[in-house]
Structure 1
């Protein structure tokens, strides 16, 4: 009897110990769900994870490669959700691999889809944050469709109320007013067209007159050009005459200075100066009487050299 009681106590102890071990293992698994899991963990941030749950599949180009491990609110931005997931070690997660939430068909279960990206991109290290694509879910599409139907229903009800409140007579009166307005607009348009025609005819007349004036201006410019070319030699002759007169005056002044220095021949210098003054006076009178006489071809006057030539 004593032996049986000892075996019974031993069995109870083993049973209690095993139960405690199982409970401890369950607690550890609940506290650290990924402690016995294999694979590499990555993260992705979404604005909405509607329909996605912890433990859902992760597919790489449609091939199942892992599961979603946890989903938390981003402490830096409460409008975003951080999704952590594990994939197999041989899954090539690259820098341009993008994550998105999608589903198979309209009523299929949602899953985390990984776009493979380019094979030339670098492989990212474990724990990296992957770029995401926020695809609208089926629930979002249905919600937007329901909102569209609600707005359409509201619009139809408003149109129905307007149709009930507006009898046929008012609609006919409105149409008649529109016809009247169209007739007035047509008359105004015809008047405007006639005014435009008159304006264009006036513009044509002014253009013809302007063309004639331009022709006259061209002829006048040609005449001025011809006169300038013709008067060129005459102006040059007049200029030479003036230069010679200035040289003569300069010579007379030099002779006058010599005469004064020698105290002789003063009378001759005075006579020469008097003759030069008379020539300059005659030239000035001619210019005052007829300024255009400078352009006429004339022989250079003979300058008298002294009192004898003057007499």
Structure 2
């Protein structure tokens, strides 16, 4: 009887523990499912490798929800519609954007939502939309992948140009140029004394340059004064006086010419006068 009683007690204890565990699980599940969420949609163009139902959703790097569903856009098979289950009251803005970001080296990814700006209005569903739609942007890895072909093409072009520059013919030219440069450097080194002398002469000449400039300025001032005096002479009475002097000189020269002509014709007349009598009427 005691053995059976112990089995009954143990069985009752085990059943009680199982029942308590079931109640706890149901309570936790009920709490989880009774919690309200906000739902958003975001449309990814291209592959969504690493995403799946239950994938983490982060808001500025903090876990705020999960991916609830993934489906193709019926109008465009290149677009994948992701339904996001996010904790309420998060306040996603109209300028917020979502992107797929890789998570380490495991090959998994997560959805990252940027915070947007505080002055932007809250994101709401437009007419005809089931949930508000968050704009998408390519991740850094996607941008790098999209730009890889162009980058490779540029690298190939650079490699071809380097190969052309480093051709055998160009290497010969470069070797010849370096040899000529070496000769020129040696010649300059041999004439370093002459160069030093030339530099010293140039330095001495440059020291006398201010005095030369000063003399030139003085000469220019004298020329300016002369020009001012000439201008004053022309504009004042000097020109009129000079004209009068020239006129008098001309008259004097004319008189001298006449006198010279008379001397040539009658030289005695100037000395003895005119002895001819004039006509006297009877």
Q: One fold, TM greater than 0.5? A: no
- What range is the shorter-chain TM-score in? 0.3 to 0.5
Q: TM-score, normalised by structure 1?
A: 0.39
